Amino acid sequence: MNFFQIKRMFRDLSGRYDLVDDDSQDTINDLINEASRTLDRKSETQKTWGSHFEEAAIDAFKVDIPYCRAIKEVWLTDADLDRWQLEKMDLQEIIALYLSSTPTSGSPEYYSPVVTRHIPEDADLTAFAAYMTYLDTSTALGYDFNAVVILPPTSEAVLVEVRGLFYSAKMVEDSDTNFWSVVHPLTLLKATFHQLEIFNQNDGRTKQWRTALAEDLDGISKDLVEEIISEIDQIEN
C-alpha cells in the first residue's frame, strides 16, 4: 500500500475522519510515520540493515548518513576497484592521532562515529568555518542523520559505503511507500492504532494493540532467524 491507501484504511477502520493531513494539521501523517519508526526499533528484519553510499572527494574525511540508527561497518572503494574495510577507533583516540593538528592525506584506515550536535543548536557557525575544517564535529544540524570521520583524510576520491541499522523511509507524498507499508501494511496500521491509543491515554486498548503487534513482530523476526541459520547443521563449540 502507498501512503494514501494506509491513511484511507486507517480512517475507515477507526472512524477518525477528523484526522486530516492538510497544511494546518499533519496528525495522521505523524502518527503513521512514528508507527513506522517504532516498528523499526522494535524488530529486526532483512530490511533493518542497509547501506548508504557517499562519494568522498580528495582530502575529505567527514561523511553524513541520513536516517541511520547505528553505524556497524564502513567500507571504501577506490578508482581501481580495490575495496577495504575500515577499523573502528574510539573518537578520543582518533582525534589525538589525526586531528590534534592539520592531518596529512593518505589511505584511510580508521573510522569513528562523531558528534552531530552543536550548542546552541541554531547557532550560525559560518564565522568559525576556517577553524572547523578539520574538526570532528559536524557543522550541520544533526537531527536526522548520523556521521563518521574516516582518517587519515583520503588522498583520492573514494566511494564510502556505511552499513548499519536504518529507519524506513519517511512517507510524505500520497504515493510514497516504505518497507512496512508495502510488505506488512496491516502491521503498520496496528502500530498506528497503538500510537493513537497512547495519546488517548487508553491503557486497555494500548495493551491490546501492543499484544497484537508483538505477535506480528514475532512472526516477522522468525523469517530473519531462518535466513541466518540456513545451512547450519551443527552447534559450534
For residues 184 and 166, what is the distance between their CA atoms, to the nearest angstrom?
17
Confidence of residue 223 (pLDDT cuts 50, 70, 90): confident
Has residue 20 been placed in a domain? yes
Could you give the number of structural domains in the chain?
2
Question: Backbone phi, then psi, for 60, in 5-degree steps?
Answer: -75, 150
C-alpha cell at 185: 501494511
- Domain hosting 90: range is 49-166
List, for residues 7-53, the tens digit of each pLDDT value. Answer: 999 999 988 888 777 655 678 999 999 999 999 999 888 889 999 99
For residues 108 and 199, what is the distance between their CA atoms, to the nearest angstrom?
48
Position 236 pLDDT exceeds 70? no
- Torsion sign across C-alpha atoms 156, 105, 111, 149: negative
For residues 169 and 175, what is the distance between their CA atoms, to the nearest angstrom?
13
C-alpha cell at 84: 577495504
Instruction: Give the mean model confidence (pLDDT) for residues 147-151.
Output: 92
Query: 42 and 57: one domain?
Result: no
- Residue 99 is predicted with a pLDDT of 84
Query: 8 and 95: one domain?
Result: no
Q: What percent of the chain has pLDDT over 70?
A: 87
C-alpha cell at 22: 492538510
List, for residues 94-148, the tens digit of each pLDDT value. Answer: 989 988 888 889 999 999 998 777 777 777 766 666 665 556 666 566 677 888 9
Element (H, E) at 77: strand 68-77
Has residue 234 been placed in a domain? no
- Residue 129 is predicted with a pLDDT of 61
